[in-house]
Structure 1
Amino acid sequence: MVSRLALMMALPALVLGTCTAVRAQAPAKATYVKVDTTEGAFVIELDAAKAPKTVDNFLKYVKEDHYTNTIFHRVIDGFMIQGGGFTADMQEKDAPRLVRNEGGNGLKNLTYTVAMARTSAPHSASSQFFVNTANNDFLNRENSQDGFGYAVFGRVVEGKEVVDRIGKAPTQSKPHPKVPGVLMQDVPTTPIVIKSIEVVEKK
Structure 2
Amino acid sequence: MARIKPQALLIQSKKKKGPTRISTTTIVMCNLIIALVALSLIATYRYWSRRSLDQSGSELSNQEKIDVFGKKDDLPGYAILNTSKGPITVELFKEASPEVVDRFIDLCQKGRFKGMPFSHVIKHYIIKGGGSQELGAAEDWISKGKLRGQLVTSPKHEAFMLGTTKARPDNKGFELVITTAPIPDLNDKLIVFGRVIKGEEVVQEIEEVDTDEHYRPKSSVGITSVILKQEI
Q: Distance in 1 between matches of 2:197 and 2:97?
A: 17
Q: CA deviation at 1:29?
A: 7.6
Q: Deviations over 1:60-118 (max 9, x none)?
A: 110100111111110000000000347xxx6xxxxxxxxxxxxxxx7513100111124
Partner of 1:13 in structure 2?
none
Distance 2:74 2:114 in 1: 28
Report what 1:112 is aligned to.
160
* Aligned residue in 1 for 2:115: 69
**Match of 1:60?**
106
Q: 1:193 to 1:29 in 2, by over 3 A?
A: closer
Find the aligned partners of 2:81 and 2:74 in 1 and give their Cα distance: 22
TM (normalized to structure 1)? 0.62
- Give the aligned partner of residue 13 of structure 2: none
Classify the secondary structure of the residue corresponding to 2:91: strand
In structure 2, the partner of 1:168 is: 208
Counting only pairs closer than 5 Å after superposition, residues 43-192 of structure 1 correspond to structure 2 as 43-85=89-131, 107-119=155-167, 123=169, 126-140=173-187, 148-173=188-213, 185-192=214-221
Task: Figure out how many residues of one structure are paired with residues of the other and give that number.
Answer: 140
2:81 paired with 1:35:
yes
Q: Name the larger-Rg structure.
A: 2
Which segments of 5 or more consecutive residues in structure 2 lack a partner in the other structure?
1-72, 134-153
Residue number in structure 1 paired with 2:15: none
Give the whole-Å Cα distance in 1 for the aligned partners of 2:200 and 2:227. Answer: 17
How far off is 1:47 after superposition? 0.3
Structure richer in strand, relative to its length: 1
TM-score (norm 2): 0.54
Residues 159-186 of structure 1: CA deviation (Å, up to 9, x unaligned): 110001101111015xxxxxxxxxxx21
Equivalent AA in structure 1 for residue 200 of structure 2? K
Counterpart Cα distance in 1 of 2:109 and 2:179 = 24
Shift in CA distance, 149/128, structure 1 to aligned 2, threshold 3 Å: closer
Counterpart residue type for residue 80 of structure 2:
K
**CA 1:195–1:29: 2 relative to 1, 3 Å:** closer
Going from structure 1 to structure 2, the CA distance change for 1:62 and 1:78 (only over 3 Å counts) comes to same
- Cα distance in 2, alignment partners of residues 188 and 117 from structure 1: 20
Letter of the 1:154 partner, please give it: G
Kept in 2, the 8 Å contact 1:32–1:45? The answer is: yes
Letter in 2 for 1:194: I
More helix by share: 2
Distance 1:124 1:139 in 2: 19
Report the alpha carbon displacement of residue 33 of structure 1 after superposing the two structures with TM: 0.5
* Change in CA separation of 1:171 and 1:118 when aligned onto 2, cut-off 3 Å: farther
Q: Is the 8 A contact 2:76 2:228 kept in 1?
A: no
Q: Distance in 2 between matches of 1:152 and 1:69?
A: 22
Deviation >3 Å, runs of 4+: 27-30, 123-126
